[in-house]
Structure 1
Amino acid sequence: MSDPELPPAPAAEPTALRLGFTRGTAPGKWARRWEKAGGRALELVPVEAPFGRGARPTEVDVMLERARAGERPEGSSDPAPTRHAMRLYTEAVSLVVPADHELADASDVSIDDLELVTLLDHPDHFAEWPAPQPWSDPSWMPADVKAALALVATGAGAILLPLPLARHLIDKRQHAVVPVVGDPELAGSTIWATWDLDRDAPDVQQLVGIMRGRTARSSRPAAAHDESARAGSKPAKRTQPKPAAKKAGPKPGSRGAQLAAAKEKAERAKALRRAEKKRKRR
């Protein structure tokens, strides 16, 4: 028999919803919006893998993961998907150079100017990006992004990386990150919210709705089964911040001045060849 004098057992605290996130994303803003919406605690779980969920995925309810250009998160493709996937945004591309490089203080670098630097090949260099310098011995290729950054620090060359990931991984004493600009832009990586099909519960849908920008007054349906790619609709166009005004040009005689002179010389040569072709056609 139970003792009538004992107080009733306290109600169990609801389990925190676990939001996993890959490095270089900003999960804090979702946690703040979740708190404002009156949801229960949101536990943020960092995942070291720069792309995907890693070889041994962490047990989380929802995952913020990065996918390479043109790819979808693992398990979210037909014909037998195991996960829902909602695309959130596309990341810009950056050039990572040594801290003492001539371009280290530049506000941005154009796609055409990438020809003037030695691009090192690494496992996360997208096929859609300008071709890197091939390794004489394939075994010399760095095993991962951190190994590639170590090579950049030695002055061996530069690498291309998603801008948020680069800013998160670099050592500011050894590296500089320069946004790459151009029209058309280089293909960027995409950030997705993914969750298991069997975890499609109201609490997950509430969090997913917050990520989509839904508020408590919204009357939109709860289902969110990748409206961007599977339904064929396009995500809102990502607005790029206006680049800051460029700093003064390179010092005369510096490597930066030599690169600029080489580029100007090449442009003049192209103009002369075009003029010569027009003259011969007359």
Structure 2
Amino acid sequence: MNDAELPSAPADDTGALRLGFTRGTAPSKWAKRWERASGDPLELVPVETAFGRKAEAQGVDVMLERTRAGQRPEGSSEPDRSRHAMLLYTEAVALVVPADHELAESSEISVGDLELVPLLDHPDHFPQWPAARSWEDPSWMPTGVKAALELVATGAGAILLPLPLARHLSDKRAHAVLPVTGEPELAGSGIWASWDVDRDAADVQQLVGIMRGRTARSSRPAAAAADGRTGADGTKPAKQARPKPAAKKAGPKPGSRGAQLAAAKEKAERAKALRRAEKKRKRR
């Protein structure tokens, strides 16, 4: 987006707009765009929760929040809507394993290979994901993401999490984070901008427009911006947040003997790692 095309924001006599944000999100890019567009700072308010909102979010003008797959922010559904909500993007899913796990050096893991890894159940394991092992005693289940990550670090198993959240909360010395790839694609968490219906003023609309990617040349549909639908200008607010592919290294020429040997070696090493993981799982 060209900075010159950013929508201008009206002056706010009540002070800086406040944008609350949940763990694992990156609001700084919108703060910079808002400041360039309006000349005023955007106050960023961290909210210590992985999903939804907490009490400290009550004083913010707009909340950047995460929802579980297929859900909307609390209060944004009819018939008793108290908040507007706009879906910004959908997050990819990651597998978190111990740092010394056989798969820790892998750059990713396919959906089909998840069955070879013992998945620990935790409160934020989505029902749409591959089933996790149930706990013999329900009281043993970790109470949250941090507790689940502590169990992973002990070697008890692995967990699935939204990729940005996994990268944000994991410890590089104790965990390895592997983006999950392949088909069928796992359902991802949603990142939404939500705001109170009574705070639907021009300055909030300008901020939401910047977060949506709208420019001064874009038409603003009357209803689409608030409920996450595709607008009259053809833009789609929800985009799949996929892991960035690793930079490709120079290798042998495709089809050459060297390329065939390299592919065979990689396949053998991957199969060996999966067999070790399966043997380790059976020993437990």
Indicate the TM-score class for this superposition, using the shorter chain for normalisation.
0.7 to 0.9
CA apart distance, 1:261: 9.1
Q: Distance in 2 between matches of 1:251 and 1:147?
A: 35
Could you say what secondary structure the match of 1:90 adopts? strand
CA apart distance, 1:105: 1.3
Structure whose residues are more often helix by fraction: 2
TM (normalized to structure 1)? 0.80
Cα deviations across residues 149-189 of structure 1 (Å, max 9, x unaligned)? Answer: 00000000000000000000011110110000111210000
Q: Where does residue 156 of structure 2 map in the other structure?
A: 156
Q: Where does residue 227 of structure 1 map in the other structure?
A: 228
CA apart distance, 1:225: 1.7
TM (normalized to structure 2)? 0.79
CA apart distance, 1:144: 0.6
Task: Indicate the percent of aligned positions where both proteins have the same amino acid.
Answer: 70
Distance 1:141 1:260, change over 3 A: closer
Do the aligned partners of 2:83 and 2:196 also contact (CA within 8 Å) in 1? yes
Q: Where does residue 78 of structure 1 map in the other structure?
A: 78
Q: Which runs of 5+ in 1 are unaligned?
A: 1-11, 263-282
Could you say what secondary structure the match of 2:192 adopts? strand
Q: Where does residue 141 of structure 1 map in the other structure?
A: 141
Cα deviations across residues 114-156 of structure 1 (Å, max 9, x unaligned)? Answer: 1111100000000000000111111100011100000000000
Distance 1:204 1:169, change over 3 A: same
Do the aligned partners of 2:116 and 2:278 also contact (CA within 8 Å) in 1? no
Cα deviations across residues 181-234 of structure 1 (Å, max 9, x unaligned)? Answer: 111210000000000000000110000010111123434257632132999x96
Q: Distance in 2 between matches of 1:229 and 1:131?
A: 33
CA apart distance, 1:258: 2.1
Do the aligned partners of 1:206 and 1:222 also contact (CA within 8 Å) in 2? no
Do the aligned partners of 2:51 and 2:65 also contact (CA within 8 Å) in 1? yes
Do the aligned partners of 2:212 and 2:237 also contact (CA within 8 Å) in 1? no
Letter in 2 for 1:111: V
Q: Which runs of 5+ in 2 are unaligned?
A: 1-11, 250-261, 280-284
Could you say what secondary structure the match of 2:115 adopts? helix
Total equivalences in the alignment: 250
Could you say what secondary structure the match of 2:43 adopts? strand
Do the aligned partners of 1:85 and 1:192 also contact (CA within 8 Å) in 2? yes
Do the aligned partners of 1:102 and 1:255 also contact (CA within 8 Å) in 2? no
Pair member with larger Rg: 1
Q: Where does residue 42 of structure 1 map in the other structure?
A: 42
Instruction: Please show how residues 1-282 of structure 1 align to structure 2 within 5 Å.
Output: 14-54=14-54, 57-221=57-221, 224-228=225-229, 235=237, 238=240, 240=242, 243-244=245-246, 249=266, 256=273, 258-259=275-276
